[in-house]
DNA sequence: GATCCACAGGAAATAGTGGCTT
DNA sequence: AAGCCACTATTTCCTGTGGATC
């Protein structure tokens, strides 16, 4: 019996599903002509053996920042090879998510050294030492270096790195090599956290990526669907709907593509020959749920336990709760899973404030004077069931 | 008007891991 | 082995804060 379980299964709708995955890099970029143009102008100095400008890119997730950057750099590298006037070009990328200056510098050094040489130590050395080493490595190779720092707003102490790097030549740390920094951020307010000196060096060229509107998303989806799906696998109204939903929510191509892919999965599950509006509607729920679950998994254990505590309280009808009550529930839950709880209220409050910042919680100020003092009340912004469900599965896995 | 509640929020200390150089 | 270094996650300590209560 069980041998036949998979016997009849075929991929009916997808021709090449990987085209709808997050890693896929299209070789043609649609709907970003202006940005590509601006980018090209910003980097053209590289071709003439001059110091490259620093470029700063912003825009929300899934609006093509990374895709366009890779596309441009690929083209730039190709062009540099054709020209004599251009120095050798070295491009190194780094995702700075939750990163420190030391680790970023280390990763750049290792990028330059390549796999065949000894890796720079993870710890044990001063950050200034790491910077010196980086400059030495660069000078050894000479040529033009472009450092792409993705999610640069998550880098703590951006100021030191962004101060040192672009000025290395002026300060005599570099003699043969040239540097350009390409900073990518999805946070518009990031600018204000920069020191004034850094601001005007890094921000020589700024390019803003705006969210896609429904029409743009539609043409992106049509493009992808053409290649990823078999002919006539998707009703055109379904594409239109996916584009409209994504445009209304985030304006992100990634979200639109997720909807299409998930819609395809659902259509296959119900043995439908085409993806319909209804499948997209149902995909929207799944995609949303999946996103929440992933975000939860990224949290520290104590962060998760605290969210679970609040979810449990809310499920019991205790609407907004203050931190003291959360602590009690948290201690219970921690014990029931067999973990050690945090001992101080302050620690709980630290986490609560983090979780609020990340958008998991909403809080309101309260002041009951002598009868209750000033405090916050917290509330989940998520469905408590999703939290409890996710937590359950995380505990079972481990 | 003084006092007090129950916190908030920031800074600094502490603890612990891992690893470098000399 | 001693002395530094990076990094993380707490904890300890301190200085507000605003309305209710005395």
Is the pLDDT at A1 greater than 90, yes or no?
Answer: no
pLDDT of residue A118: 85
Q: For residue A27, what pLDDT is reported?
A: 86
Q: Cβ of A376 < 7 Å from strand B?
A: yes
What percentage of chain A exceeds 90 in pLDDT?
Answer: 62
Measured CA distances, A362 to A7, A209, A290, A349, A375 (Å): 50, 29, 21, 13, 13
Q: Looking at residue A222, what is its pLDDT? A: 94
Confidence of residue A85 (pLDDT cuts 50, 70, 90): confident
Which range (A8-17, A218-227, A331-340) has the least confidence? A8-17
Window 332-361 of chain A: CB closer than 7 A to strand B: 345-346, 349, 352-353
The residue whose CA lies nearest the C1' of nucleotide C3 is A124
Tell me: pLDDT of A51 over 90.
no
Burial A83-95 (b: 16+ CB within 10 A, else e): eeebbebbbebbb
User: Alpha-carbon distance A195 to A300, whole Å?
Assistant: 31
pLDDT of amino acid A6: 63
Mean pLDDT of chain A: 89
Task: Determine which of A198-207, A279-288, A385-394 has the lowest per-residue pLDDT on average.
Answer: A198-207
pLDDT 10s digits, A172-193: 889 989 999 999 988 877 777 7
pLDDT of residue A201 exceeding 80, the answer is no
- Protein residue nearest nucleotide C6, by CA to C1': A123
Task: State the pLDDT confidence band at A3, using cuts at 50, 70 and 90.
Answer: low
pLDDT at A190: 79
- How many other C-beta atoms can be found within 10 angstroms of the C-beta atom of residue A386? 16
């Amino acid at each position: 019996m069980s041998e036949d379980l998979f016997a009849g299964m075929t991929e009916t709708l997808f021709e090449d599903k990987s085209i709808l995955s997050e890693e896929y890099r299209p070789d043609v970029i649609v709907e970003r002509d202006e940005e590509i143009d601006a980018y090209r102008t910003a980097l053209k100095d590289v071709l003439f053996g001059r110091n490259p400008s620093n470029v700063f890119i912003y825009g929300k997730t899934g609006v093509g920042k990374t895709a366009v950057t890779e596309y441009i750099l690929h083209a730039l590298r190709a062009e540099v090879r054709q020209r004599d006037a251009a120095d050798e070009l070295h491009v190194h990328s780094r995702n700075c998510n939750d990163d420190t200056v030391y680790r970023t510098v280390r990763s750049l050094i290792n990028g330059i050294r390549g796999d065949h040489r000894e890796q720079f130590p993870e710890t044990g050395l001063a950050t200034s030492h790491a910077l010196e080493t980086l400059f030495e490595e660069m000078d050894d190779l000479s040529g033009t270096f472009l450092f792409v720092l993705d999610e640069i707003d998550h880098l703590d102490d951006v100021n030191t790195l962004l101060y040192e790097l672009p000025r290395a030549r002026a300060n005599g740390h570099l003699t043969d090599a040239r540097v350009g920094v390409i900073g990518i951020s999805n946070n518009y307010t990031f600018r204000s956290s920069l020191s004034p000196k850094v601001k005007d060096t890094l921000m020589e060229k700024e390019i803003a990526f705006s969210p896609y509107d429904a029409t743009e998303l539609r043409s992106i989806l049509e493009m992808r669907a053409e290649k990823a799906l078999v002919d006539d696998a998707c009703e055109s109204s379904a594409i239109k709907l996916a584009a409209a939903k994504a445009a209304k929510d985030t304006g992100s191509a990634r979200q639109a593509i997720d909807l299409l892919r998930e819609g395809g999965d659902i259509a296959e599950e119900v043995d439908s020959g085409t993806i319909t509006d209804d499948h997209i509607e149902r995909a929207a729920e799944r995609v949303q749920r999946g996103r929440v679950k992933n975000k939860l998994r990224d949290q520290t254990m104590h962060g998760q336990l605290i969210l679970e505590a609040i979810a449990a309280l809310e499920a019991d009808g205790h609407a907004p709760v203050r931190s003291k009550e959360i602590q009690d529930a948290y201690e219970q839950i921690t014990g029931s899973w067999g973990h050690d709880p945090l001992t101080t209220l302050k620690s709980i409050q630290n986490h609560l404030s983090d979780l609020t910042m990340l958008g998991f919680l909403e809080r309101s100020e309260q002041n009951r004077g002598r009868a209750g003092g000033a405090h916050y009340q917290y509330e989940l912004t998520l469905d408590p069931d999703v939290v409890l469900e996710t937590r359950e599965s995380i505990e079972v896995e481990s």
